[in-house]
Amino acid sequence: MTALTRLRLTDFRSHASLDLKLDTRPVCLWGSNGAGKTNVLEAISQLGPGRGLRAAALPEMTRHDATSGWTISATLDEDRKLGVGLDSTGNGNKRVVRLDGAPATATDLADLIRIVWLTPAMDSVFRGGASERRRFFDRQVMAHIPSHGSVSNRYEKAMRERNALLERGRVDPAWADAIEGRMAEAGAIIASNRARILIALQDAINDRPEGFFPKGDLALEGDAEKLASEDASLFDVQDLIAEQLAKGRYRDQAAGRTLSGPHRTDLSVIHRPTGAAAGDASTGQQKALLIGLILASARALNADGNGPSPLILLDEAAAHLDRDRRAALFDELIELGGQAWLTGTEEFLFEAFGDRAQRVEITANPD
Ligand SMILES: Nc1ncnc2c1ncn2[C@@H]1O[C@H](COP(=O)(O)OP(=O)(O)O)[C@@H](O)[C@H]1O
Ligand SMILES: [Mg+2]
């Protein structure tokens, strides 16, 4: 069981100071539009790896009138004290992490807490471009493998160097080899992480109960992931990426960007009940499919034995579901066991939880 039993925010977005004392049941945050409910979920997401639920830069999350940075402190399962914050006192902005009152790292927190989320911004994931789907999938990978984000950063950094090198015109082959070698090394890890989590996710999808949230069939469309899923060694995947990059130098020089590699991979999702591509399903079907995917992601984390059961953040998920679907969602969340955090504008949306969940009204801070 992983649950937050207390959550305190200072100067985080609209919240000058918020202190929630909780039990381990799911938490239903309700209140009017703009009250600061999503801000609370975003704050929780800062306890995990990466940039969090809105992918915001650190200073963006500081309350507008605040004189220094923001802090988030959480009590986990009664005894562990987790803290993250933005220190903007010196020059520059520094993310600080604390565990049980002492300085710590994001990796320390990653051993204790895992988080998945679904937000209205993800609604367009099946209709949008490959980059949106890739980001969505990488988010799930990062929940399983916290280092996935830093490997991706290493890859992107090397790619920017390669693009800059190609842009300069005459390319020193040894230099290009070295940069592409670094891209291939990070890229192979990215591809094998993705291939592994795809299997875990698909298994969890298949294990989910049948019902209102339909199942999807997932595939990664990328050469490196395809090879990684065929049990090739990391070196083989690395060689493939390096080879394609070397071959593509002139093409990429003309294009002004890198046209091969795992940063181009797409996630294909088939809506199983109809056999259609998820992007062609109705808006309602896409939403239901997405909820099913997030529930599967949480289920996969429960099953992997590598860490605590995840917190599940569902922003505005209940509002668009009819009564029966809401009840089915709540039942599945209870069955999953990790503490779920839900938001909605009306308290009645959470009726079907009965006393299996706690309600917290969020009101805007009076300025
Ligand atoms: N850095 C910030 N400082 C102060 N207020 C902010 C900041 N960022 C967002 N807000 C405010 O937070 C409010 C939105 O909060 P949000 O959590 O999205 O509301 P909701 O309850 O509808 O989910 C808006 O009024 C917005 O102006
Ligand atoms: Mg909101």
CA distances in angstroms from 62 to 24, 31, 97, listed in the order given: 28, 22, 16
Question: 3-state SS string over 168-229?
Answer: CCCCCHHHHHHHHHHHHHHHHHHHHHHHHHHHHHHHHHHHCCCCCCCCEEEEEECHHHHHHH
* Residue-level length of the chain: 367
Ligand 1 contact, 34 CB (< 6 A): yes
**Residue where the block lists tokens 């093409």:** 251
Ligand 1 contact, 13 CB (< 6 A): yes
pLDDT per residue, tens digit, the chain (367 aa), is 789 999 999 999 999 999 999 999 999 999 999 999 999 999 999 999 999 999 999 999 999 999 889 999 999 997 899 999 999 877 788 999 999 999 999 999 999 999 999 999 999 999 999 999 999 999 999 999 999 999 999 999 999 999 999 999 888 999 999 999 999 999 999 999 999 999 999 999 999 999 899 999 999 999 999 999 998 999 999 999 999 999 999 999 999 999 999 999 999 999 999 999 999 999 999 999 999 999 999 999 999 988 899 999 999 999 989 999 999 999 999 999 989 999 999 999 999 999 999 999 999 865 5
At 365 the pLDDT is 62
Minimum CA distance residue for ligand 1 atom 15: 36
Ligand 1 contact, 33 CB (< 6 A): yes
Locate 133 and state its tokens: 């789907």
Measured in whole angstroms, how far is the alpha carbon of residue 337 from the centre of its chain?
19
Q: Which ligand is nearest to the CA of 14?
A: 1
Contact 353, 26 (CB under 8 A): yes
At 81 the pLDDT is 97
DSSP type of residue 338? S
Q: How much is the pTM?
A: 0.95
CA distances in angstroms from 156 to 76, 216, 247, 264, 277, listed in the order given: 34, 30, 19, 12, 29
Minimum CA distance residue for ligand 1 atom 5: 14
CA of 157 to the centre of ligand 1 (A): 32
CA of 231 to the centre of ligand 1 (A): 46
Ligand 1 contact, 339 CB (< 6 A): no
Question: Which residues contact residue 311 at a Cβ distance below 8 angstroms, ignoring those fewer than 6 apart?
Answer: 2, 3, 4, 44, 113, 114, 115, 116, 338, 339, 340, 341
Ligand 1 contact, 224 CB (< 6 A): no
CA of 10 to the centre of ligand 1 (A): 14
At 366 the pLDDT is 56
Domains of the chain and any CATH numbers: 1-114+307-367 (3.40.50.300), 123-296 (1.20.1050.90)
Contact 342, 27 (CB under 8 A): yes
Ligand 1 contact, 119 CB (< 6 A): no
At 320 the pLDDT is 86
The CB density around residue 330, as the number of other CB atoms within 10 Å, is 22
CA of 14 to the centre of ligand 1 (A): 5
Minimum CA distance residue for ligand 1 atom 24: 34
Residue-by-residue DSSP string for 97-129: EEETTEE--HHHHHTT--EEEE-GGGGGTTTS-
Minimum CA distance residue for ligand 1 atom 17: 36
CA of 175 to the centre of ligand 2 (A): 48
Torsion of CA 244, 249, 253, 258, to 10 degrees: 20
Mode of pairing for the β-strands spanning 80-87 and 71-76: antiparallel
Task: Report residue 346: phi and psi, to 5°.
Answer: -130, 140
Q: Is 10 helix (H, G, I), strand (E, B) or coil?
A: strand
- Bridge partner list, 221: 266
Ligand 1 contact, 36 CB (< 6 A): yes
CA of 324 to the centre of ligand 1 (A): 31
CA of 37 to the centre of ligand 2 (A): 5
Strand 94-99: give its sheet, edge to edge. Answer: 15-21, 4-12, 71-76, 80-87, 94-99, 102-103
Q: Which atom of ligand 1 is nearest to the CA of 14?
A: 5
DSSP type of residue 98? E
Best substitution site from 14, 72, 367 to test ligand 1's pocket, by max atoms within 8 Å of Cβ? 14
Contact 218, 268 (CB under 8 A): yes
Q: Which atom of ligand 1 is nearest to the CA of 362?
A: 21
The helix or strand, by DSSP H or E, that contains position 297, with its residue range, turns out to be helix 283-303
